[in-house]
Amino acid sequence: MHSITDHPLRYQLANELHARPFPTLDVPCRAVFVAWRIPREQIGTREQAARAHLINLLDRFGVAHPPPGATHFTCQIGRDTLKWEQHAEFVAYSVFLPQLSARAFDPVDFDVFPEDWLAAAPGQRVTSVAIRVEPMPNEDEINTKIDSWFLQEAVAVNYVLDGSCVVATDFRIAANGHQCMAVFVAPETGVRRVGRVVQRLCEIETYKSMSMLGYFRVRAISDELSALEDGAGQLMGELRTQEGDAAETLQSLLALSGDLEHLIAETSFRFGATAAYETIVSQRIEVLREERFQGRQTFQEFMMRRYDPAMRTVKHSETRMQSLAERVGRAAQLLRTKVEVARLAENQALLASMDRRADMALRLQETVEGLSVVAISYYSVSLAAYATYPLAALVGLSKGMLTAILTPVVVALVWWTVRKIKARMH
């Protein structure tokens, strides 16, 4: 039999699809959920900090530790079930408690987390939820409980998963410091389905809160972004009206572009995370397969009225920054072209000036050459005359006649010699 070589990650790839299983919950029960966001400056050490915090809690209950490198872990702590999950930006703890408390959403349920342990969490709490799971009564009793537990103008109620459960919440932080959610379970609904509903509710709330961080980031940079847009508009106006020095305008535009790119770099992670979290929220609501409960608003309608506008604001701000960066880039390119054209014109003027100077130098050189021929000829004639004076008497010529005869000959020789020297130099 031939052996097959497995990819080193084959089992991890297959098991990843089965990671983070849903809890199985008997009805009635309670669930408490808390998630801490890890600051970006601590992300490099978040795994160690999150694991150490978990182990601290497990040691208090005498529970075995998770394997090294684990990102999720489920165990029993006394009568309760603990589920721990580590994500990219946050760490989440869920505890499922059997039976119901006499008081709905009793803050005592959170006492499963020791107070000093909560204070030592490696991050800041982004959300905490108390969930009450009980058998489904008739619709009138459900309405009575919802009216007493939740704020009426904000409450969202609906049937989910083909009418197997009714879920309700107002997405507000109650006086006990936690958000409250209720799940009414129809008879014969399986324990795994109940666990899926509770898990989805925790995920919807967590990812909703995490995505809203992007909205408040947008609000924080709103004035800075508006100032950059105003500055870009002013510089582009100078480009259109030809006012100001192009080089100075280009430097100002490049400085503004640097500020804009810095802002984009600072917000790109948050905007990307917000888009991902928004998608998860929409998917988690969709898989619940909502059906309207007595004309009340559904989760989807609540999100459409309150949540979706915030997400559109984030997308719009991201689009504004990208559009502004493109406009600034085009304007900078136009200014560079303008500056280059101006420099080319200056270079052409300089070359023309150099040509004129070279022409003047050539003319001066030719003038000097002419004068030098005269000067050399003058001295050469004088020397030749002195050398031939003794011969003048022999041939019967006067000194003046001899000088007159020598002058054109000497001048011609000097001129021919200068031309030969000049030709050799070229």
DSSP, residue by residue, 384-411: HHHHHHHHHHHHT--HHHHHHHHHHHHH
Strands 90-98 and 124-135: unpaired
Task: Give, in order, the Cα–Cα distances in Å from 385 to each of 375, 394, 412, 418.
Answer: 15, 15, 16, 21
Q: What is the pLDDT of residues 305-325, one digit of tens each?
A: 889 999 999 999 999 999 888
Cα within 13 Å of Cα(326), Cβ side = 5
| CA–CA separation, 195 and 48 (whole Å) | 29
Name the residue type at position 249: T
338 phi and psi, to 5 degrees? -65, -45
DSSP state of 4: -
Strands 179-185 and 124-135: parallel
| CA–CA separation, 202 and 417 (whole Å) | 106
In the numeric block, which tokens belong to residue 393? 């008497």
Digitized pLDDT (tens) for each residue of the chain, 426 residues in all: 567 888 888 777 776 666 667 889 999 999 999 999 987 666 557 778 888 999 999 999 999 999 888 888 999 998 999 999 998 889 999 999 999 988 999 999 999 999 999 999 988 999 999 999 999 999 999 999 999 999 988 999 999 999 999 999 999 999 889 999 999 999 999 999 999 999 999 999 999 999 999 999 999 999 998 898 888 888 777 766 666 566 777 788 788 888 889 999 999 999 999 999 999 999 999 999 999 999 899 999 999 988 999 999 999 999 999 988 888 888 777 777 777 776 777 778 888 888 788 778 777 776 766 666 666 766 676 776 666 767 666 666 666 776 777 677 777 776 777 677 766 765
* Residue extents of the structural domains in the chain: 18-211, 213-349, 366-425
Taking the CA atoms of 5, 8, 10 and 11 in sequence, report the sign of the dihedral they define: positive
